[in-house]
A and B are shown apart, each in its own frame.
Chain A
Amino acid sequence: MSFDIPVIELKGVTKSFGPVDVLKGIDFSAYAGQVTALVGDNGAGKSTLIKGLAGVQPYDGGEVHFAGGIVELKSPLDAGELGIEVVYQDLALCENLDIVQNMFLGKEELKAATLNEPHMELQAVQALESLSVKTVKSVRQKVSSLSGGQRQTVAIARSVLRDAKVVILDEPTAALGVAQTEQVLNLVTRLADKGVAVIIISHNLGDVFKVAHQISVLYLGKMVATLKTKEVTYDEVVAYITGAKGQEGAN
């Protein structure tokens, strides 16, 4: 695994809303096959950073390097083309559609001008199986009948299907119980094992320590620490998050 060359690297990105500087020159990297956790207190700027990567809310300044070259992320389309997929906290699934239909939404395959359902079904099953998903009863179940964890699973599997290079998960376990959290965290690990660069936002440091290889801490729009999970303690991370540590410019 190449630790030196990140798949995606942000250099000095900035974002302001009117007079409010929300991102104040952020450096951030994510590596293939690794889980990078993005942590920070409420309002630190995590979601804003992610929205820039997703192209839904472009950065004002700074550089985005993707696989070594500078890229522009001006729209979700730009992000999609590079293979950056976001699993939003609200998941954005259509409850009235089934698992296969949701996984292929917006990317339907046609044959003879009609939907090629069998091929989509086959690929959806393969994507789910590659993540060792066994909890869904049928891939033709409607999403309305799925549990929160199963929905999260579908949303994550969708990114696999799209051959994502970078998958960003915004608080994937926030609404889940113990068993389902465990399942989703396993899924996150398997996703990274497939060579995807996974970025996970979480307020739950227990989860972060379980899956993340490195932890990036945002504090009031600044990246105050980028740490290897193995080399850091829980309390240190908390100290960075709360601002007790790192204010003297550790970065």
Chain B
Amino acid sequence: MSDKVTSLASGHEGTLYDQTHAYLQRLRGGEMGSLPAIFGILVLAGIFEIASPFFITKLNFANLFVQSAELAMLSAALVFVILLGEIDLSAGVTAGVAMAVFIDLVKTQHWNWIPALGAGFFAGIAIGAVIGFMVAKIGVPSFVVTLAFFLGFQGMQLVLLGEGGVYRVETPAILAIMNNNLAAWGGWLMLVIALAVSFVISLFDRARRASYGLVNKPFSMVIIKLAGMAVIGGISIYYLNLNRSQGSIPISGVPIVIPISIAILFIGTFALDRTRYGRYLYAVGGNPEAARRAGIKVVGVRVIAFIICAVLAVVSGVFHASRIGSVDGSAGHTIVLSGVAAAVVGGVSLFGGRGRLAHAAIGAIVISMIDNGLGLLQMPAGINFLVQGGVLLLAATIDALARRRGGVVSRN
């Protein structure tokens, strides 16, 4: 590669061994990211596999993905505000209101589903903007603003849909998200695209560093990352491509929600890591006063975060409507706390400034596994809540302890 032009290191130096060593040191320093959550996934899989013969079955494997996607999207939505050290307790009901708007326009106004869905998203954007304005401009604590919206919007849902109103979703495109699957080749194509995109970005980054005469990490790290993606993705797709039906009509393939979710998480991560807005979001979450003095328009950054949160929450609402096939006045009332739990369990700090969308997705898998596994064991719902509450408390404690030790190295 290129010559080292400087005397100050950047963390890219050294062999694979050095890099591994540095990584382990970071772990010991408390920068564990979602490692505890990944460990949790393995432990839960082991426990539920022993306890229930249904847990590791092809059907349940697919179910888990589908359930996780809905929660992952809501949790990813919350990451944008949690990174600011804020919270949006109304994210779930925002989604509920947006879907109520959608179904109302389709059913009673006979709108085409596309503009109706657009109106739903527009409602989400408007709600996010109002919350953001109240928090960032007026200075009402987000906890209070969104708690008020959480209560108020439950009423709004009832007004829009009527008491006890349940409307079936009949739009094929929306139903397809959670209920239809890619053809076998589609799953493999998805993996190939993901690997290609990841590889090209790595090469691009390395070329850019090299063009400024900066050292790159050993190339073997790129290969190892791709190999890891290929193995995990390959096994999952292979498994999802097997027939998982218990009846006579075969069901197989990667649920359509998976590529949609991955694409959204990818775009969101790209925005957080590589755009000015992403940098400002982390900066405001880390030290708002420092951000302000650096000339960052803190109010704008905050308002936009609440809007992004609302929009992704509506996406999660669409997933939910697709999965259960209907919209009713109680949608989104309970999911928001699971969403917060998923983010925190996955390694997003409630103190702001630290966390990634992938953390939310991994945390969502943990929470969904608990939900799903306890359901299969036919545990009473009370046990489920107790376990989820315990897991959230544990994760938040780890977060607080890790914060005291402080992170060491950035990802760049």
Interface residues of B, Cβ cutoff 8 Å to A: 5-12, 29, 208-209, 211-214, 274-276, 279, 282-283, 285-287, 289-291, 293-296, 353-354, 406-410, 412
Contacts and interface: CB of A to CB of B under 8 A. Distances in A.
Contacts of A98: 409-410, 412
B214 A96 contact: no
A92 B287 contact: yes
Contact of B412 (A105, A121, A144): A121
Interface in A86-134: 88, 90-98, 100-101, 105-108, 110-111, 113-119, 121-122, 125-126, 128-129, 133-134
A114 B273 CA distance: 9
A96 B279 contact: no
A93 B8 CA distance: 20
Contact of A125 (B10, B211, B293, B353): B10
A121 B296 contact: no
Contacts of B289: 90, 92
A101 B293 CA distance: 15
Given A105-B283, A108-B279, A138-B9, A80 B295 contact: yes
A217 B241 CA distance: 79
A129 to B, nearest CB: 7
B8 A100 contact: no
Contacts of A88: 293
A101 B286 CA distance: 12
Interface of A: 76-77, 80, 88, 90-98, 100-101, 105-108, 110-111, 113-119, 121-122, 125-126, 128-129, 133-134, 136-142, 144-145
Given A97-B410, A105-B296, A125-B10, A114 B275 contact: yes
Q: Say what secondary structure dominates the interface of chain B.
A: loop
Contacts of B354: 96
A96 B274 contact: no
B207 to A, nearest CB: 10
Given A94-B290, A95-B286, A114-B274, A129 B409 contact: no
Contacts of B293: 76, 88, 92
B9 A137 contact: yes
Contact of B406 (A95, A121, A122, A139): A95
Given A96-B282, A108-B279, A138 B212 contact: no
24 contacts: A80-B295, A94-B282, A94-B287, A95-B406, A96-B407, A97-B279, A101-B410, A105-B283, A105-B291, A105-B296, A107-B295, A117-B412, A118-B211, A121-B10, A122-B6, A122-B212, A138-B9, A138-B409, A140-B11, A141-B408, A144-B406, A144-B408, A145-B406, A145-B407
A110 B290 contact: no
Given A95-B406, A137-B9, A121 B214 contact: yes
A246 to B, nearest CB: 34
A79 to B, nearest CB: 11
Nearest to A123: B212
Contacts of B283: 94, 97, 101, 105
A128 B410 CA distance: 18
Contacts of B29: 145
Contacts of A90: 289
A88 B8 CA distance: 25
Contacts of A96: 282, 285-287, 353-354, 407
A126 B10 CA distance: 13
A160 to B, nearest CB: 14
Nearest to B297: A106
A53 to B, nearest CB: 14
Contact of B276 (A108, A121, A139, A140): A108
Nearest to A128: B8
Contacts of B290: 91-94, 105
